Amino acid sequence: MFLDLTSDQEFFQETTAKFLADQVPPATLQGFADGVPADFEARYWRRGADLGWTSLLVSEDAGGGSISGRGLEDLCLIAYEFGRHAAPGPLVPASLAAAALGQAGTHPEALAELLAGTATAAWCHAEPSGGSLDITSDGGDLVLNGAKRPAEAAGRAKYLLVTGRLDGDFAQVLVPAAAPGVTITPLRTPDYSRDFAAVAFDGVRVPASAAVGPPGQAGQQVAWQAQAALVLAAAESAGAMRAGFDMTLAWASDRYSFGRPLASYQALKHRLADMATWLEASCAIAAEAAAAVRERSPDAAELASAAKAYTGQYGTELMHECVQLHGGIGLTREHDLHLYLRRVVLNRALHGTPAEHRQRIADHVVTREGL
């Protein structure tokens, strides 16, 4: 995804790529139609933590560490490989929760578990249409009421990092998934190796020390997490696009019709050229957005939305073209192409659709141009 990798980053990415190819090859993923078995995922995730997946957004002081000093870009490399292998695992929610705990300097025990991969966390940010989550102070406690949906990986998470409104701004609270008043209802999703849930909070009471970052002043950290989630989704989609495109290129070269390879027909060559352009552009905008978000540069929000809008739209465009060029076999479950299609379909709508991000981008444009 990035062209300017250090040799350490290259090694890091290759190590993860090899691990995923070995642990979750397409044949294994095809068996996950009803979800990833819990024991498999727990073991797999701990080994991923050993490879460094969980620590990248956490400073060394807090027990984490990145490969290049640019943690978000390092994590994007992993997200790209997750896309390229349609890999399971709560990469984004666990990373964002660990980042929040590390930055706030709270909950060292939970953070240690997240870093070790012995526990996972859900990033409970999105809200159902018309829903909200309110946090109130009551004595020394914080009380949560409302709903979060969809929450990735909440079903197996030990911790929930919950964003809510408090005193007109945001607060984030780390809630044990087993806390009284928390109801986690699994949802269905197109992606075999992802799981989502609806989480209801009915008078969930936690001590004030459960706050992650200053309660009622967490807007900035929430905004950064949301931007990071966008670039990670973009990077992951770019990886899935690469996998689908490579499969389709090989198919078009090997498949003969009317005595010629499909790839010799100009009508198809031109479509493959368009797809290559979308793919390169997806990598390019995802990489630039990742750098901007990591640097917290003033245009980070706009670039993150652009990366999400672009990879959302052209990710599915590319994958459906891959299906089209495969013909009927591309519509079947037995062919592996759908594994990557599922990932980009999911990522297109996760954390805001392309159209929603275009509205946000327009807001930035109108502000910048002083209109």
Instruction: By CB under 8 A, name the binding residues for another protein.
Output: 3-4, 249, 252-253, 261, 263-264, 266, 269-270, 272-274, 276-277, 280-285, 287-288, 302-303, 306, 309-310, 355, 357-366, 369, 371
Task: Tell me the C-alpha distance between 221 and 206, whole Å.
Answer: 21
Shortest distance (Å) from residue 128 CB to another protein: 22
Helix (H, G, I), strand (E, B) or coil at 59: coil
Write out the DSSP string of 235-287.
Answer: HHHHHHHHHHHHHHHHHHHH-EETTEEGGG-HHHHHHHHHHHHHHHHHHHHHH
Helix (H, G, I), strand (E, B) or coil at 124: strand
Nearer to another protein, 291 or 346 (CB): 291
Shortest distance (Å) from residue 10 CB to another protein: 12
Among candidate residues 143, 144, 148, the one with its CA nearest the CA of residue 131: 148
Shortest distance (Å) from residue 295 CB to another protein: 15
Cα 333 to Cα 21, 31, 194, 276, 339, distances in angstroms: 20, 11, 17, 25, 9
Nearer to another protein, 22 or 369 (CB): 369
Nearer to another protein, 119 or 300 (CB): 300
Task: Tell me the C-alpha distance between 198 and 152, whole Å.
Answer: 9
Nearer to another protein, 155 or 354 (CB): 354
Q: Tokens in use for 309?
A: 């809008």
Shortest distance (Å) from residue 125 CB to another protein: 22
Task: Tell me the C-alpha distance between 234 and 80, whole Å.
Answer: 8
What is the Cα Rg of the chain in Å? 21
Nearer to another protein, 41 or 73 (CB): 73
Shortest distance (Å) from residue 199 CB to another protein: 30
Nearer to another protein, 218 or 286 (CB): 286
